[in-house]
Amino acid sequence: MSYLNSRPDGATLLDVFRSFPETSGPLLELHERLLRGPSPFTVAERELMAAYVSGLNDCAYCHGIHTATAEAFGVPEGLLAAALEDLDGSPVEERLKPVLRYLAVLTRTPAALTEKDAEAVRAAGWDDRALHDAVLVAALFNFMNRMVEGLGIAADPAYVPISAARLHEHGYAALTKTPTT
């Protein structure tokens, strides 16, 4: 149930974006650049990061949509659930595990991050651009999770594959132009 009186029950984030275009345009542009633009990480890996952070935050809306989007880009079904349950024992690629550990600390206890955490990411073969991109994806989804929860946005389970398909096929920039939910 949306906490916005101007939005009906069942309002989605897309409805919020359309209601507030002055803030949604720049926000969706940032999504497009971070999640679809050039990066050392694949689109699938960045969507996995978005879903992972959202799962850590218990944001069912973002976690569900971005898990489905990550899977549409080739992340194996069940991988995110396994990573959230036990990252070290999960089938996540070994090179990506230090990045997800870094994002978990950044999400749960950001002041506890140390140079040692960053060095673990570098030791896995990632450079400063990768660290930057991962941090920005995590920061964006910590923001989005709070926006979704703060506005009372929830999705009917049937909406998840629709939204994921739209993100997979058209990306984020198209959301300001999409005529229907």
The answer to whether residue 173 scores a pLDDT higher than 50 is yes
Higher pLDDT, 180 or 37: 37
132-160: per-residue pLDDT in tens?
A: 999 999 999 999 999 999 999 988 899 99
Rounded Cα distance between 52 and 18, Å, is: 26
Q: pLDDT per residue over 4-63, tens digit each?
A: 888 777 788 988 998 999 999 999 999 999 999 999 999 999 999 999 999 999 999 999
> Is 161 a member of any domain?
yes
Report pLDDT for 172.
93
Question: What is the reported pTM?
Answer: 0.94
Tokens of residue 20, six digits = 């507030």
Q: Check residue 2 and give its pLDDT.
A: 82
Q: How long a stretch of residues is the chain?
A: 181
For residue 139, the one-letter residue type is A
Domain extent at residue 78: 14-176
Q: H helices then E strands: how many in the chain?
A: 9, 0
For the chain, how many structural domains are there in total?
1
Q: Is residue 4 part of a domain?
A: no
Domain CATH number, residue 69: 1.20.1290.10
Judged against a pLDDT cut of 50, whether residue 180 lies above it is answered with no
Q: How many C-beta atoms surround the C-beta of residue 50 within 10 A?
A: 28
Tell whether the model's pLDDT for residue 104 goes beyond 90.
yes
Question: What single-letter amino acid sits at 114?
Answer: T
Six-digit token pair at 35?
């999640």
In this prediction, residues 77-85 reach a mean pLDDT of: 98
Residue 2 counted as domain residue? no
Residues with Cβ within 8 Å of 53's Cβ and at least 6 positions away in sequence, in order, are: 103, 107, 137, 138, 141, 142, 145
From CA 144, how far away is CA 17, in angstroms rounded? 12
Residue 8 lies in a domain: no
Residue 5 domain-assigned (yes or no)? no
Structural domain includes residue 60:
yes
Q: How far is residue 61's CA from residue 101's CA, in Å, rounded to a whole number?
A: 22
Q: What is the mean pLDDT of the chain?
A: 94
Place of tokens 């542009």: 29
Over residues 68-94, the mean pLDDT reads: 98
